[in-house]
Chains A and B, each alone.
Chain A
Amino acid sequence: MTLTSTNRNPQLNSHGELTHLLSTEGLPHEVLTRILDTAAPFAAVAEREVKKVPLLRGKSVFNLFFENSTRTRTTFEIAAKRLSADVINLNINTSSASKGETLLDTADNLAAMQADMFVVRHAASGAPYLIAQHLATTGQNHIHIINAGDGRHAHPTQGLLDMYTIRHYKQDLTQLTVAIVGDVLHSRVARSQIHALTTLGVPEVRVIAPKTLLPSGIERLGVRVFNDMKEGLRGVDVVMMLRLQNERMQSALLPSAQEYFKSYGLTMDKLALAKPDAIVMHPGPMNRGVEIESAVADGSQAVILPQVTFGIAVRMAVMTMLAGA
C-alpha cells in the first residue's frame, strides 16, 4: 500500500486503450496480443514489391534520440516510412541538449511543430514518462510516445518483437520455458522481455547471470534465478541472450570478457543442454566471443536476423494502434 503513488497506468487511457507505449509492464494480455496480431499482416507487407501502406499518411513521427543508436532508430524510421508517415530524425545529444535545453523544452518545441508521435530514447530511466506526463498536463494528449529505450528501465518494442519471434517459432507460449542470459542488471531489454513473457503466460521464465549482474529483488518480477548457466539452460525452449557492455569490466562487476565467456557465453556445448529445437535470440548488436559463440550466432537455431525483420512489423503495428489508424 502506498500513500502517494497512483496506480493509473500512464500508457493506457480511461478506456484501457493504448495511448503511449512506455513499457511492457502493466500492459494487459489482450493489448499485448493485439499488437502481435496487428503485426502479422505488416510482416507480409515486407514481402511485397511495394512495401508501403498509407495508414499514417500525413502524420509526423519524430525520432527523439537523446542517446546514440543507429539500429533502433533505423528500424523505427523504416516502420514509419512503410506506413507513409513523415519521419524527422533528431539526435539530441548533438543538438539542443548540448546547448542546455531541457528535455521538456525540447518536447514542447517539437510538439509545436505539429508532431503526432515521438519515438524517444534516453539514457535516464523514466524519461519518456516525464514527457508523457508533461504532455498530459499541458493538454497535448494527441501526441503519442513510443519508448525506444530508457536507461535500464524498458525497451518495449524490443520486448514485443521478441514475443512475436517466439510466437512465430513456438506458437503456444503457455507451454514454454524461456531463459534470459546475461547482464540483466543494466538491461532494459531483459525487463521488457520479463514483463511480456509473464503477462503472456509463459510458465517458466529464467534469468541466468552472475550475482553482480542481477538486480536485487529480481525474483519478485516472477523469474527463477540461476547463477549456473548449464543448470539454467537445461530443457529450455528459448534462449534469449543479452549484450554485455565493456564498461562492466571497468566497474568491477566482472573480471574479464574471457572469464565471462567461459561461464556465461553461449556455446554449442551449452546450447546442447537446451531442448533440441530451442531457438536462440539476441537483441543485437552481438559481441561474438563474449556472450555468444559464432557457431551459435550463425547456427541453425539462431533466429537473430528474423528478429530484426519482425521488429519492423511490430513497430508498424504499435504506431498504427497508437495513431488509431
Chain B
Amino acid sequence: MNIHIRGGRLIDPANGMDKHTDLFIAEGKIVGAGDTAPERFTAHTVLDATGCIVCPGLIDLSARLREPGFEYKATLESEMAAAAAGGVTRLACPPDTDPVLDEPGLVEMLTHRARLPEFAHVHPIGALTVQLGGKKLTEMAELAEAGCVAFGQANQAIVDTQVLLHAMNYAATFDFPVWLQAQDPFLAQQGVAHDGEVAARLGLAGIPVAAETIALATLLQLARETGVRLHVTRISSAAGIDMIVAARAAGIAVTCDTAVHYLHLCDHDIGFFNPHARLDPPLRAQRDRDALRSGLASGAITAVCSDHTPVDDDGKQKPFSEAEIGATGLELLLPLTLKWAQEMQVPLLTALARITSDPARIMGVNAGRLDAGLPADICVLDPSADFHVTRKNLKSQGKNTPFLGLALPGRVRYTLIDGYLAYNGTS
C-alpha cells in the first residue's frame, strides 16, 4: 500500500526539517520526502494535508493502558483508539498493572495483545523490583528480552537505598535504562496537594517540594555511583529542575520528563476541591509551573509525556483526598504541547521534538523521525483547528481531565502506524 501525503508542512525535528513538501510511504515505510514522487512510486491513497503539519507520530513516555487488571477503567482497545486519535504512535506503559509487569510472560502477553495494525507500538516498562515492592530485583534480562525498554517503579518508591543501589547497579550491568519518579514516600505520606497556601486554605495534607528534591538527590548520587542510565519521570518543581541541570553540569548523564498537565496547571487549579486535579506528583506552585514551562523550552527537561491515567467516574466522584490519582492524557498530549509552544513562543520544531525525537532517544528506539526506510509512523495535524475537550470527544475510556470543557489548539487529521491509517479525523 503506497500513500502520498500531499501539500502539508513537513516538520521533522530530528533532522531539523521544516518545509512545505510531500511525504511518500510504501509498504509501511517512509520512502522519502520531496515535491515529486520517487521513481516508480504509484500512490494507492493520497492524503490531503493542505494547511496541516506532517510530523513523526508522537511518542509518549507514560501511558497507562490499564491492562491487565483494571479493565473496568480502560481496555487496550479503548486506549489504543485514544492514542491513534491523539496522534500517538508509540508509547511506554508503566508496570503498575495487576498483576504487576514483573514477569516476562505478562510482558509478552501485553505486547502480543497490542500487536494489531491500528494499535500504537507498545513498549512496556518492566518493574524494577518484584511487585514494585522495593525489596527483590526482577529478572531484568528476561524482561528486556520480552520487550521491556526500561525498568521502573511507576509511582512506588524504593525505600531501601541499598536495594536501590543494587537495582541500579544490576541494570547498569546490562546498560538497561532506569526510569524513576523522585518522591520521598515519607514526606509524601498522606499528602494530597502541594504543601503551600492552597493546601493550607483547603485543609489538604501537603507534600513539600523537599519530597522531590530529597528523593532526587538520592537518585542522582546513586546514578553517579553506578553509572546507570537514569531517566527521572514527572519532575514537578523548580528546585528539581535546578538539581537536574546541576547534575548534568557535574557530568551525570540524566534525562527527565514532566507530564503535559504540569505545563498549564498549578495548585490553584484545584479550585473548590476538583478531583480531576488530584495528580501525582501534586500540582505545585505557579512559579514551579513557570519553571517547568521554561525548562521544557530550554531542554533542561528532555521530553514531555501524557502520564495518561484513565480513571472511571466512581474513582473520581469522591472527596479530593479520597479520589483516585491521575488524568487521561493521550488525546491531550499534542494540543497541550501546542498550547504551551504558542504561549511560550517556542518554535514548532522544538515543541514537536519534545514529543517525538526526544522521547524516542530516551526510549532508545529508532523512531520519532521521518528518515527514509523507517516505519511510517506519522501524525498529520491541523494546527488551526481546535480540539474540544468533552466527554464525548475523548475516545479514552477515562474522561478524567481537569481540561474538560476547554478548546485546545491542534486537531489530529490522520495517524499512520507502520503506514496503516489508524485514525482518520476527516471522516
Contacts and interface: CB of A to CB of B under 8 A. Distances in A.
B200 interface: yes
A191 interface: yes
A226 interface: no
Scoring B195, B196, B197, B319 by chain A CB atoms within 10 A of each residue's CB, the highest score goes to: B319
Q: Which of the four size classes fits the interface of chain B?
A: 35 or more
B169 to A, nearest CB: 33
B394 to A, nearest CB: 16
A4 B406 contact: yes
Nearest to A133: B272
B317 to A, nearest CB: 6
A126 B271 contact: no
B363 interface: no
B272 A126 contact: yes
Contact of B199 (A1, A102, A215): A215
B274 interface: yes
B320 interface: yes
B266 interface: yes
Given A3-B269, A153-B203, 16 more contacts: A1-B286, A2-B268, A3-B406, A6-B271, A124-B319, A125-B202, A127-B319, A130-B273, A130-B275, A130-B317, A152-B204, A153-B202, A188-B203, A215-B206, A217-B200, A217-B201
A216 B196 contact: yes
Interface string B302-337: 000000000000100111111000000000000000
Contacts of B320: 124-126
Interface in A1-42: 1-6, 10, 25
B270 interface: yes
A125 B203 contact: yes
Nearest to B270: A5
A5 B314 contact: no
A221 B200 CA distance: 9
A191 B201 contact: yes
B319 A216 contact: no
A122 B406 CA distance: 32
Contact of B318 (A103, A150, A152): A103
A222 B257 CA distance: 37
Contacts of B206: 215-216
A124 B321 contact: yes
- Chief secondary structure at chain A's binding surface: loop
Interface in A218-243: 218, 220-221
A152 B196 CA distance: 14
Contacts of B275: 130
A260 interface: no
The 9 residue pairs across chains A and B that have the minimum distance between CB atoms: A5-B271, A126-B273, A153-B203, A152-B203, A124-B319, A217-B197, A215-B200, A125-B203, A127-B319
A126 B319 contact: yes
A4 B180 CA distance: 29
B135 interface: no
Contacts of A221: 197, 200-201
B207 to A, nearest CB: 11
A4 B266 CA distance: 10
B269 A4 contact: yes
26 contacts: A2-B265, A2-B271, A3-B265, A4-B269, A4-B271, A4-B403, A5-B270, A6-B271, A10-B272, A103-B318, A125-B203, A126-B273, A127-B319, A130-B273, A151-B319, A152-B203, A152-B204, A152-B205, A153-B202, A188-B203, A215-B199, A216-B199, A216-B206, A218-B200, A220-B197, A220-B200
A154 B203 contact: yes
A104 B75 CA distance: 26
A154 to B, nearest CB: 7
Interface in A136-172: 150-154
